[in-house]
Amino acid sequence: MKYLQQLKDDLLVKFESQINPEKAHLFLVNGELPANSGDINYVARFLFIDCRDGDPFSLLTYIRKWFESKGYPVPDLNFDCEVIDAETYDMTIDIGLMDKLVINVSGDYNLCPPKIWSDAFGDWVTQDVADSAVP
């Protein structure tokens, strides 16, 4: 889940003239960690207030490409947008996520990195393993 803070930081850098850091918020909502599973399901919700950009879809496409570039599965993005004027809008973006946790006996946990299909290995592997097979 720490990667979401990195996504927020990257959004603030990429859209620094459009997004005020004081008006960009990240929430984790509607989470569930079933008793019999290490799969945690939740929604990451970004709230951007007073965005100064005439193109709200630029945020959505950036988020999609960000997940791809980091080797994460591309999640569905749901959004609501209130258009204030031709250059200003408020936007809420919901990102449905599932992370795998290994919960240790002591109660601490490790987040498992996402896996992708590798034709070279013929199996699901982490991005770093898949990259090692590239000539």
SS3 85: strand
Q: Is residue 107 part of a domain?
A: no
Q: Which domain holds residue 22?
A: 2-102
Residue 115 maps to a domain: no
| CATH number for the domain that contains residue 62 | 3.30.70
What pLDDT, on a 0 to 100 scale, did the predictor assign at position 134?
Answer: 66
Residue by residue, pLDDT tens for the chain (135 residues) are 688 999 999 999 999 999 999 999 999 999 888 787 778 889 999 999 999 876 889 999 999 999 988 878 889 999 999 988 888 899 999 999 988 877 778 878 877 777 777 888 888 777 777 778 765
Asked if residue 22 is part of any domain, the answer here is yes
| Residue 109 is assigned to a structural domain of this protein | no
Give the pLDDT score at 50.
Answer: 93
Distance (Å, rounded) from C-alpha 99 to C-alpha 101? 6
Long-range contacts of 73-81 (CB under 8 A, 24+ apart): 73/114, 73/116, 81/56
Q: Does residue 117 belong to any structural domain of this protein? A: no
Triad 45, 51, 53: Cα angle to 5°? 125
- Measured CA to CA, the distance from residue 89 to residue 52 in angstroms comes to 7
24 domain residue, yes or no: yes
pLDDT at 59: 92
Structure confidence at residue 14 (pLDDT) = 94
The answer for residues whose C-beta is within 8 angstroms of residue 107's C-beta and 6 or more apart is: none
Total number of domains constituting the chain: 1
Q: Is residue 39 part of a domain?
A: yes
